[in-house]
Structure 1
Amino acid sequence: MNFVGVVALALGSAAFFALATALKHRSAGLMPHVERFRPAELLGFAAAALRHPLWLGGIAADVGGLALQVLALHIGGLIVVQLVLVSAVLFSLVVAHWIAGTRMSRRELLLGAVLVASVTGFLLESGALTAVPSTADRLPAILAGLAILAAVVTLVAGSRRFSSRKKGSRRAAAMLGMAVGAIYAGTAALIKTCTNVMASHGPLALLTSWQLYCLVVAGASGLLLAQMAFQAGPLTASLPATATTDPLVSVLLGVVVFDEQLSTDTGPLVLSVLCLLVMSGAVAMLSQVRAVVEHPDSSSPSH
């Protein structure tokens, strides 16, 4: 596995995704609001998104990021790629300041340094860089997929309850953000599986594989829920939830589904867990800062 190439591809992907996120955030407040998750509301929401130039621009940037992510996942491990992609939150903050015409504060620079250090520390101490990923184990993959589906359904159902209450928008947005993060992690695992099928058996086998169609459904669901999370409440609630859930679930999927063996020695294990905790805190705080920079009124619901 070419570590430098994997990291470079993942960083490029993160930069594209950061641009995509900024564009889609700008478009979210201009979409019809989804309140009761009725079919007519969902169709109207999807139709409005497909006609909006900012949203379409975000999708174009997503395509660029996805192409680089696919290449990175094909030659590298799920854990390495998804942990490096966490840097997208830092890229997004830079883009947000550029759009707003402002500069990053010392606190933001410090949080960025902490994020980079914690991700680097985890990759080095956990042994993720030297772990050799295998093809997905069928039974663990199915069980993991069902677990993610159950978690997403539970979180979406819970968000509906909170969205109907006064002052519940923050919790609703956070729950939808967690659902999006889980879907993103599952989508990355499916992308890696599809690239393995393509490389081993060719394009025809990929077209007839169930993994490809699960990937399409998961990708579309993630896009829809992400836009709904942006609208459900303040971005300072949804963005940190998505940004922290994605890498943590990805680590679990890498170990359980792809047999990416991490170090179990006491010292490296403790340091790895500590790095993940520090990374999660830095990601959450940087996401909140980014939300405020992109949308100064993000402390209140966007509807």
Structure 2
Amino acid sequence: MTALSVALALLGALANAAASVLQRRAAAEEQPAAAARRLGWLLPLLRHPVWLWGAGTLVLSGICQAGALATGPLAVVQPVMTTELLFTLVVGSMVFHHRPDARTRWAFLAMAAGLAAFLRLAEPAEGSSTVPDGRWLPVALSVLVVVAVLIAVGLRLPSAPKAAVLGTATAIGFSCTAALMKDAIGRLAEGVGDFLTAWQTYAVAVVGLASFFLLQVTLHAGTLVASQPALTLGDALLSVILGGVLFDEHITLGLRILPEAVALAVLVLGSVQLARSPVVSGKNGEQMW
């Protein structure tokens, strides 16, 4: 089942990347004036066919991620979803006709190798499909406190550290969204009624939308290079922790903890270099919204 989970997570990451590139392409074609970048520039995008294709692809990504979480550990799915950056580079290079330089290609290989090495060394094992009663409350309270503190501190910082701190808060939000999604999907085995009446089902939408909004604040706070390490490492690490705390998933540590740390460092360094690529950051003539 883990192989199926990895395949679905990769498809979800690819769909996420395609959505990002398509919506950025639509924004570039509209070429909104800088002075009009308020609500007026958004309305034409909502009617733009390319933007709508991007929105539909984003829905497809959510379906793939849900399938991945239903068939595999949270500690596998979320780290694999970080390959969105790799797919953004590939898809963006084709759409915007921008050839990656040698440094970007090395960063691509480093990120892929770091992720593969971490998953191979950690060997995450499947736990329960749902969270036992009583575990969500202390986790949710702890997460709320940490996110609130990060936001309060981050908003007082200058650009680069602000983006890093807010990126950490965003990563926590996305990790919790994935955990809630996995818990909600696991309840389908008990019947559609249980799924529709579970609070986790609706918490996915609330936490997911809040995390998406926080991501927009993060991206406007500073460069992608400043926020990407926190987004990549934070989501991957917290998902491993939540998988163990909530779903009883197990990862191999012991003597492997040092090479696992090295693999994560390679993954983050690769993501930082990829974030510098104009294709990923949206600075080769087109702008992210």
Same fold (TM over 0.5): yes
In 2: Cα distance, 1:284 partner to 1:180 partner: 17
Alignment deviations for residues 192-219 of structure 1 (CA, whole Å, 9 cap, x no partner):
00111112x2121122111112111111
Equivalent residue in structure 2 for 1:284, among 254, 257, 272: 272
| Partner residue of 2:193 out of 191, 198, 204 | 204
Distance 2:141 2:273 in 1: 31
* Equivalences, count: 281
Structure 2 residue runs of 5 or longer lacking an equivalent are none
**What is the aligned counterpart of 1:186 among 176, 192, 202?**
176
Q: Secondary structure at the match of 1:136?
A: coil
Aligned pair in 2 of structure 1 residues 290, 10: CA closer, same or farther (>3 Å)?
farther
Alignment-mate amino acid for residue 170 of structure 2: V
| Cα distance in 1 for residues equivalent to 2:82 and 2:234 | 11
Judging changes above 3 Å, is the alpha-carbon distance between structure 1 residues 204 and 292 closer, same or farther for their aligned structure 2 residues? closer
Task: Tell me by how many angstroms 1:48 deviates.
Answer: 6.2
Q: Give the C-alpha shift of residue 185 in structure 1.
A: 0.8
Report the 3-state secondary structure (helix = DSSP H, G, I; strand = E; otherwise coil) of the residue aligned with 1:132: coil
Residue matched to 1:38: none
| CA offset digits 1:109-149 (Å, max 9, x no partner) | 22222222221112121121xx1221324444332222222
List aligned pairs for 1:1-303, cutoff 5 A: 2-24=1-23, 27=27, 51=46, 53=48, 56-128=52-124, 131-134=125-128, 135-162=130-157, 168-199=158-189, 201-266=190-255, 268-289=256-277, 294-296=282-284
- Percent identity at matched positions? 31
> Do 2:88 and 2:279's aligned partners in 1 also have CA atoms closer than 8 Å?
no
Q: Distance in 1 between matches of 2:249 and 2:3?
A: 18
CA RMSD of aligned residues (A): 3.1
Q: Mark the runs of 5 or more structure 1 residues left unpaired by the alignment.
A: 34-40, 163-167
Flag the 1:236–1:122 CA change in 2: closer, same or farther, 3 A: closer
1:244–1:284 contact (8 Å) kept in structure 2: no
**Partner AA of 1:16 in structure 2:** A
Aligned residues of 1:96 and 1:294 also touching (Cα < 8 A):
no
Matched-pair contact (CA < 8 Å) for 1:100–1:294: no
TM-score, structure 1 as length reference: 0.81
Which deviates more, 72-81 or 24-33? 24-33
| Cα gap change, 1:56 to 1:184, in 2 (>3 Å) | farther
Residue 264 of structure 1 deviates from its aligned partner by: 3.2
1:297–1:209 distance in 2 versus 1, CA, 3 Å: same
Provide the rounded CA distance (Å) in 2 between the counterparts of 1:32 and 1:160. Answer: 24
Once the two structures are superposed, residues 51-108 of structure 1 have per-residue CA deviations (whole angstroms, 9 ceiling, x without a partner) of 4746654432211111011111101111111111111111112223223311122222
Matched residue SS, 1:263: coil
Q: Counterpart of 2:145 in structure 1: which amino acid?
A: A
Partner of 2:248, secondary structure, is coil
- The question of whether the paired residues in 1 share the 8 Å contact of 2:85 and 2:280 is answered with no
Distance 1:120 1:211, change over 3 A: same
